[in-house]
Amino acid sequence: MATPAALPPLPFNPRQVRSYLLRLPLFTRLVLLVILAFWLLELQTIWSVVQWGSLTPDECNLGTMYRLNTFPLIHTGFFHALLNAMALTPLLERFEAEHGTLTSIALFIGPLSTLPAGLYLLIEKMILHSNTPVVGASVWVFLLLGSEAIRTFKTNPYFSVGPYKIPTWTSPLFACVVLSILVSNVSFLGHMCAILVGYVFGLGYLKFLVPPEKVLRWIEGKLNLLGRLPHYVSVDQKTYAAIRNLRNNPNLLFVRLPNLLSLLCIIVGVVWLLLLPLNEYSRHTYISENALLPGQVHAYFSGSEQHIFRGYKQELEGLLSEGQNGIEARDQAQLTPAISTKIQSVLEAAGLKVATQKYQYSSAGITHHGENTYGIIHAPRGDATEAIVLVASWRTANDELNLNGVTLALTLARYFKRWSLWSKDIIFLFTPDSKSGTQAWIDAYHDLHPASVQPLALKSGALQGALVIEYPFEHRFKSLHIVYDGVNGQLPNLDLFNTAVAIAGGQMGFGSNLQEMWEHDDSYEARLQTILRGMAKQGLGYATGAHSSFMPYHIDAITLQPTGEGWEDEMALGRTIESLCRSLNNLLEHLHQSFFFYLLMQSNRFVSIGTYLPSAMLIAGNFTIMAIALWMRTGYHADALSTKTTESAKPKEKSSEKNSDAGKPAEISGPAVAERLLALPLTLVTGLHLLGLVPLWLFNTLPHQFFTLATYAFVAVDIVLPLLLAALLANGSGLTSALVPQQYLLIKSFALLLLGLSLSTLATLNFSLSFMIGLLCAPLSFVSRSHCPSASKRRACASMGLVSLNLLSPPTVLMGVCWYAGVSVEAVLTQAAFGWDVWGMWTQVVIWCVWWPAWLIGCVLLGASIF
Amino acid sequence: MTVSSILSLFLAIAVSLWGSATSASSDYHEQLFLEPLPQSSLLASFNFRGNTSQQSFDNQHFRYFPRALGQILQHAHTKELHLRFTTGRWDANSWGSRPWNGSKEGGTGVELWAWIDASDDEEAFAKWITLTQSLSGLFCASLNFIDSTRTTRPVVSFEPTGNHPNASSLHLLHGTLPGEVVCTENLTPFLKLLPCKGKTGISTLFDGHKLFDAAWQSMSVDVHPICSSDGDCTVQIEQTVDMVLDIERSKRTRDNPIPRPIPHEQLVCDTSKPYTSEDTCYPLEKGTDMAWSLNEVFGRTLNGICPLTDSNDLSVCLRVPHEKSVFTSQGASELKQDDGFTRCFSLAETEPFDLSIPEQEVHTKPPLDEPILHAERTIVGHGQERGGMRIIFGNPSETNAVDFIYFESLPWYLRPYIHTLQATITGPDGVRREIPASDIVTETFYRPAIDRERGTQLELALSVPAASTVTLTYDFEKAVLRYNEYPPDANRGFNVAPAVIRVLDGENAQPIYIRTTSLLLPLPTPDFSMPYNVIILTSTVIALAFGTVFNILVRRVVSVEEAEALQAQTLKARLVGKVVALRDRFRKKDTKVE
């Protein structure tokens, strides 16, 4: 019968019980068997087994010492036997599993029966002068309970019942009392004796009775017990031993091990990334989508089309020179309305449907506006369901005049119109710049544009791909530079990149570059450099060209930039684009076959997400490991952790004496469970993360001329704020009492937990950003409030730490990178604000709401050692 | 005079002819109408019409009516049938209003609607399925895929064109296949329905290569009964093929179809530009229409007239200004009509006919009439979960408001939220205003979808004020399909059928239909190679993990000495084995090996 899913499953599973019983070890079985046998023996009336075997104080003399051993095995009735057996089985089974069969036999035949019995006899006969016979296995039950209780006490000293704390070692006493009250005819004294012996055993004072392992092993070996006896638990098989060892050494478990693991994670993560360029870890690229067939068609764009190209170019240049004579002025030429009108008229003459779109964005106090012009070639037999976009920006991504690119697009528009084989509409988009024009257009295409952007008058179907044409110089080119990074590190389908590489290399016969690696010698260093450049672009997440804006809409796009001095002219670039369009035209489905997550190290080698992801995940994982360890560590009193180690080294010493200098009196030995004071750490961590919204807002709304000043101000804030917070926390400041060490650990734990969580999630979306932030935050795993007893030493350490951490603060890193790259901080921040306002860039959020709060908390912890 | 009105005029003439010949129980007419359109396009509109009396139709005496189709209609109790095959899109901005006022075209793909005689809805649907299955075989089209999810029952969008005595028992069913690719395999059965079967008459011009190279083409089959006032009924079948050919493209010879760059000597350059030289050319686009002839455009000449038609029929008509010279082959006579643009030709019975227009400078152009309504429908938004539909209606008229019915049938996996229906209106002043949808929508008929059973049916009665543009938007949610419901090309997206717009233009006028383009809806699509990867991965993990764990659990690890000791205990082992065997035999079990 199926149980309804809403009900909890049966707590009692007969199958489990059966398998449990079948797995009982040897000695437990023997004991149960003997109990059963004695019970059966009692069924006859001739010979009273109970009278024979019970522990009767008066009957005990040297001749009847056997009673000291037989009494636990004999019961007065079926229910007595059954209940005792049921109570005993799990305890005894566990004991045997821990200590081995031989030890169990030795202990239970010997001291663990005779000691409680002797104690009982002593008290009953000598002190109480009465003669109550006792019988039954309950003595073992209570003995084992007693020893278990001591062990529990070591790890978990108190029950909390309301305000009262009850030591856990009293639990068998309670059981004993309750049992005595509930069940009649129960020997309270006998049970108490057993518990007492159990305590003594649990505290380890009876260890001398345990036969030495050597002897046991010798016996085992000689008699081949393991081979002969079923269910025999060997000495070597003693489970739990190693775990118990670890459990008994919390310093190793909670302090040293996590540090080691975290460090290992970071090192392995970095080494992993360094391994990727090797042939063993990377792969050759390949065309996954069969429909693309790159370079399988002849490209006809040549001959008289070049005359038309020159004609168009002359026409556009004529419009340029009206106000802009001279080379320098020409390089600054903007897309004037006259040029826009000319582009429209050329497109209209070629038979395209033409429309324009005005847009305006303002960001960081700068207004960007312009007018896009676009024309659509209707697929001759198509029905406006799919389209390809060709983009030519008037200014390239590097802000050069893209006159040849625009002219080439116009010539191609006229040329493509004649072909009847297009299965998709082709849209020619002319934008004034590479930053905002395409963004305005693609937003409006999906009807997601802000009010300052005009809607589109003309539309087509679902966009399948986009190519951006750049040709910003007059000379002939040598190879094709393919730019593929999108906003927020999104990448186009690898098939599109591969198609471009295959067409440039195979059909056109010129090479292709990526990531501005002009001299790629296929060495390890060059590959690694390419990967790192790609990661830097991906991590920063800015738009690297006009194509980047397409990526958030799941439209694969690349920019084609001719580079170098060579023999190829604009017609070769035109043929490349023609061939690429023909390949895209072949597509039956949206590009989906190949990878969307990859790192390219060369135009024909890549690593896919499965190979590179562990690298960032390990680094993010280091924070999580540390956070969990800290959380567990805060469950104990800090001093208990340190004393436990010394205690295990010298078990004879009393720990209470050693704790006096730690400031908190420790009442008991062993690790003490501490209550976590969560309120303040949680508030602080949440508050600091929310505080990140302030710089996020500031750096995205300030006018651009204040950016440099704001950065310097933030460096200062980053120096002062942690110290201020640390002083507040350390002195309490009247709001709260001063923080206890546990709270510092908790603060760190929460901060690292959030960091690890965010970074591991981020790694699946933007691997590079997660990796970069992870590396910059790596020291935060290891900084904490120092425990150095000497105040001066502590202060020196903390100050050194603070200085070095301040070198890794977000504003300092920003300034350092800007200085290294030779760009101004203002330019970078203006770009970032533009990205936030227009492109929908999320890098700032990660920096200010993930990185900065974690960094701040690290500094606060360090600063707290000063006060 | 417009394309559509001209066509209607011919229809009227034809009807009057038919009226005069009503004594004959059946007749057959065919007509070709040609009109050059801007941007070197040519509209060719073929019309074939056959009549047969209801009596002979019922007795299966077929002469002009195709027997194959007639039997299907009788079997499926179909009283009126409309079938459309369409590809491409009509460019209303360049070409004006649609031929036949849009009443002879369908949405992209295949569209079918019929009035079926049945006692209730279920019976009607069963007959509808019979009809689609049979037509599927007849026309080599995937009409059998019109199932319940693609069938709708429009309420106000379609009216029967024939006269039906028992209209109360008729059920209108409508189905579309927007993804169906119309091609030559549909043309051949279409031609077979004609009495002259493409051997003679205007149907000889049908060449699959040219027909399906057209920028827009639509084939239609309409069957409806026409009854006179005295109760005599005839069953009329009308087949039309309308296409817009690109003259330049059609004139390319079949052995050299590639539009290579022309030699630079042949480039027509704008010599007024100062930079024009040997290697620099600003192209000059031609101001005159291109020369063409039937032979060049269709690849063959017209092979006489179909002998079944009346020899007095003006079977070929051309709409060019009268001042333009048109050359025809011998035996054909030209008849110019009064409107100044239309001329018709009566053809010699057996002589091949060709018609050619040389390139010439003409100052008058036949006026193109503005379409009465512009409609554009697009999917907006992006993402796997939600999207939006945006429909733009533009009324170009300065004076009159347009009333129309907007009908769309959406697949069930596109779940519209009708409560999000919003309207914005851009008036003549160019200001966009949000208005309540109820201001524009006068009536709504909405039948929500049931997953995997039927699609959404939405019919709106709207009114767009003069010189205004109305934008309707609503949001929708994309359903997640079961993995076996995805087609092989799942990542292409799913076709959404075009919307049908029926303009209510007066009481008695011919209905005007406009169809939007079909849409491609991207749905959340799983990575179909993933199950394969997952199976491989899990199998490996299970093989490794289970194998190891099982091994550890079952195997007893013993040292060599122990193994020897085990073997030494042969007596005990034998004894135990025997006991086990005995027990098993006792329990009638097969011996198990542990």
Is the pLDDT reported for residue B588 higher than 90? no
> What is residue A12's predicted lDDT score, i.e. its pLDDT?
59
Residue among B249, B489, B518 whose CB faces A589 most closely: B489
Do residue A543 and residue A684 come from a single domain?
A: no
> What is residue A62's predicted lDDT score, i.e. its pLDDT?
73
Element (H, E) at B113: strand B109-117
Do residue A345 and residue A493 come from a single domain?
A: yes
Residue B274, φ and ψ in degrees, nearest 5? -65, -25
User: Are B381 and A384 a contacting pair at CB < 8 A?
Assistant: no
> What is residue B587's predicted lDDT score, i.e. its pLDDT?
72
Do residue A463 and residue A316 come from a single domain?
A: yes
User: Are A590 and B522 a contacting pair at CB < 8 A?
Assistant: yes
**Percentages of chain B per state (helix, strand, coil), in multiples of 5:** 25, 30, 40
The whole domain housing A719 covers 622-649+671-864
Residue A7 falls within a domain, yes or no? no
> Could you write out the DSSP letters of every residue in A389-417?
EEEEESB-TTS-B-HHHHHHHHHHHHHHH
Return the residue matching tokens 């150095």.
A788
CA distance A425 to A445: 14
User: Are B246 and A461 a contacting pair at CB < 8 A?
Assistant: no
Percentage above 70 pLDDT, chain B? 91
Residue A810 falls within a domain, yes or no? yes
Among the listed residues A191, A368, A547, A689, the single catalytic one is: A191
Element (H, E) at A116: helix A111-121
Q: What is the mean pLDDT of chain B?
A: 85
Report the CATH number at residue A62: 1.20.1540.10
Min distance B345 CA to chain A CA atoms (Å):
31
Chain A partners of B495 at a C-beta cutoff of 8 Å?
385
Query: CA-based angle B267:B273:B279, to the nearest 5?
Result: 45
Instruction: Note the pLDDT tens digit of each residue in B300-316.
Output: 888 888 888 876 777 88
Which residues touch A120 (CB under 8 Å, ≥6 apart)? A55, A57, A134, A187, A189, A190, A193
Q: Residue B335 to residues A164, B48, B314, B338: CA-CA distances in angstroms?
A: 116, 21, 9, 10
CA distance B548 to B75: 68
Do residue A697 and residue A558 come from a single domain?
A: no
Is the pLDDT reported for residue A671 higher than 70? no
How confident is the model over B8-14, as a mean pLDDT? Answer: 50
Q: Residue B62 to residues A381, A537, A755, B58, B188: CA-CA distances in angstroms?
A: 37, 75, 83, 9, 20
Is the pLDDT reported for residue A657 higher than 70? no
Is the pLDDT reported for residue A145 higher than 90? no
Asked if A600 and A530 touch (Cβ cutoff 8 Å), the reply is yes
User: Are A380 and B281 a contacting pair at CB < 8 A?
Assistant: no
Do residue A591 and residue A685 come from a single domain?
A: no
CA distance B460 to B404: 8
Instruction: Note the pLDDT tens digit of each residue in A725-740.
Output: 988 887 765 556 667 7
Residue A118 falls within a domain, yes or no? yes
Instruction: Note the pLDDT tens digit of each residue in A223-261.
Output: 777 667 777 776 665 544 555 556 566 677 777 888 999
Asked if A379 and A456 touch (Cβ cutoff 8 Å), the reply is no
Single out the residue of A391, A396, A434, A439 nearest to residue A561, CA to CA: A396
Beta strand segments in A88-247, E: 158-161, 164-167
Q: Is A138 a catalytic residue?
A: yes
User: Are B518 and A592 a contacting pair at CB < 8 A?
Assistant: no
Is the pLDDT reported for residue A202 higher than 60? yes
> What is residue A246's predicted lDDT score, i.e. its pLDDT?
60
> Could you write out the DSSP letters of every residue in A619-662?
HHHHHHHHHHHHHHHTTB-HHHHHHHHHHHHSTTS-HHHHGGGG
CA distance A859 to A275: 33
How confident is the model over B479-501, as a mean pLDDT? Answer: 90
Structure tokens, A640: 């208990």
Mutating which of B210, B431, B520 best tests the A interface, going by the most A Cβ atoms within 10 A? Answer: B520
Number of domains in chain A: 3
More confident residue, A388 or A44: A388
Mutating which of A385, A446, A586, A609 best tests the B interface, going by the most B Cβ atoms within 10 A? Answer: A385
Q: Closest residue of B to A305, CA-based?
A: B261
Percentage above 70 pLDDT, chain A? 89
Structure tokens, B443: 């009536």
> What is residue B359's predicted lDDT score, i.e. its pLDDT?
85
Lowest mean pLDDT among A106-110, A294-298, A645-649, B86-90: A645-649
How confident is the model over A76-94, as a mean pLDDT? Answer: 84
CA distance A614 to A628: 20
> What is residue A652's predicted lDDT score, i.e. its pLDDT?
38
Beta strand pairing status for B109-117 and B78-88? antiparallel
> What is residue B269's predicted lDDT score, i.e. its pLDDT?
87
User: Are A461 and B249 a contacting pair at CB < 8 A?
Assistant: no
Residue among A307, A381, A414 whose CB faces B264 most closely: A307
In SS3 terms, A229-283 reads as CCCCCCCCCCCCHHHHHHHCCHHHHHHHHHHHHHHHHHHHHHHHHHHCCCCCCCE
Single out the residue of A251, A238, A186, A230 nearest to residue A210, CA to CA: A238
Min distance A351 CA to chain B CA atoms (Å):
7
Residues pairing with B469 in the sheet: B394, B426
Q: CA gyration radius for chain B?
A: 34
Q: How many residues does chain A have?
A: 867
Lowest mean pLDDT among A188-192, A536-540, A638-642: A638-642
> What is residue A661's predicted lDDT score, i.e. its pLDDT?
39
Instruction: Note the pLDDT tens digit of each residue in A438-456.
Output: 999 999 999 999 999 999 9
Q: Is A191 a catalytic residue?
A: yes
Is the pLDDT reported for residue A192 higher than 60? yes
Residue A261 falls within a domain, yes or no? no
More confident residue, A351 or A24: A351
Sequence ranges of chain B with CATH classification 2.60.40.740? 374-521
Domain B374-521 grouped into CATH 3.30.1300.10: no
Query: CA-based angle A378:A591:A541, to the nearest 5?
Result: 105
Instruction: Note the pLDDT tens digit of each residue in B508-541.
Output: 667 889 999 889 999 988 887 777 778 888 888 8
The count of other CB atoms within 10 Å of the CB of residue A114 is: 15
Do residue A599 and residue A626 come from a single domain?
A: no
Mutating which of A447, A454, A584, A596 best tests the B interface, going by the most B Cβ atoms within 10 A? Answer: A447
Do residue A593 and residue A643 come from a single domain?
A: no
Structure tokens, A219: 């016996």
User: Are A461 and B275 a contacting pair at CB < 8 A?
Assistant: no
Asked if A135 and A71 touch (Cβ cutoff 8 Å), the reply is yes
Q: Closest residue of B to A415, CA-based?
A: B261
Long-range CB contacts for residues A89-94, cutoff 8 Å, separation at least 24:
A89/A24, A89/A28, A89/A32, A91/A140, A91/A141, A91/A144, A91/A145, A91/A148, A92/A27, A92/A28, A92/A31, A92/A140, A92/A144, A93/A24, A93/A25, A93/A28
> What is residue B21's predicted lDDT score, i.e. its pLDDT?
41
> What is residue B197's predicted lDDT score, i.e. its pLDDT?
86
This prediction has a pTM of: 0.77
Q: Closest residue of A to B519, CA-based?
A: A385
Chain A partners of B378 at a C-beta cutoff of 8 Å?
447, 459
> What is residue A464's predicted lDDT score, i.e. its pLDDT?
93
pLDDT tier for residue B113 given thresholds of 50, 70 and 90: very high
Cα B396 versus chain centre, distance: 26
Residue B395, φ and ψ in degrees, nearest 5? -105, 105
pLDDT tier for residue B17 given thresholds of 50, 70 and 90: very low
Instruction: Note the pLDDT tens digit of each residue in B226-267.
Output: 988 887 889 999 999 999 998 888 888 777 888 888 888 888
> What is residue A250's predicted lDDT score, i.e. its pLDDT?
67
CA distance B145 to A89: 69
Lowest mean pLDDT among A151-165, A544-558, A600-614: A151-165
**Percentages of chain A per state (helix, strand, coil), in multiples of 5:** 60, 10, 30
In three-state secondary structure terms, A136 is coil
Residue A655 falls within a domain, yes or no? no
Structure tokens, B280: 């620099």
The tally of CA atoms less than 13 A away on the side-chain side of residue B406 is 25
CA distance A618 to B365: 75
Min distance A480 CA to chain B CA atoms (Å):
25
CA distance A860 to A680: 14
User: Are A386 and B276 a contacting pair at CB < 8 A?
Assistant: no
Query: CA-based angle A783:A786:A788, to the nearest 5?
Result: 145
Residue among B283, B382, B569 whose CB faces A308 most closely: B283
Point out the domain boundary residue: A218, A246, A274.
Answer: A246
Among the listed residues A138, A262, A282, A363, the single catalytic one is: A138
Is the pLDDT reported for residue B14 higher than 50? no
Q: How many residues does chain B have?
A: 594
Q: What is the mean pLDDT of chain A?
A: 85
CA distance A776 to B527: 35
CA distance A576 to A714: 49
CA distance A353 to A30: 95
Instruction: Note the pLDDT tens digit of each residue in A557-595.
Output: 999 999 999 999 999 999 999 999 999 999 989 998 889
Residue A273 falls within a domain, yes or no? no
More confident residue, A540 or A106: A540
Do residue A631 and residue A597 come from a single domain?
A: no
Amino acid at B170: L
Residue among B39, B493, B519 whose CB faces A351 most closely: B39
Min distance A561 CA to chain B CA atoms (Å):
25
User: Are B561 and A420 a contacting pair at CB < 8 A?
Assistant: no
Residue B154, φ and ψ in degrees, nearest 5? -60, 145
From the number of C-beta atoms within 10 Å of its C-beta (0-12, 13-18, 19+), residue A259 rates as middle
> What is the ipTM for the molecules in this complex?
0.84
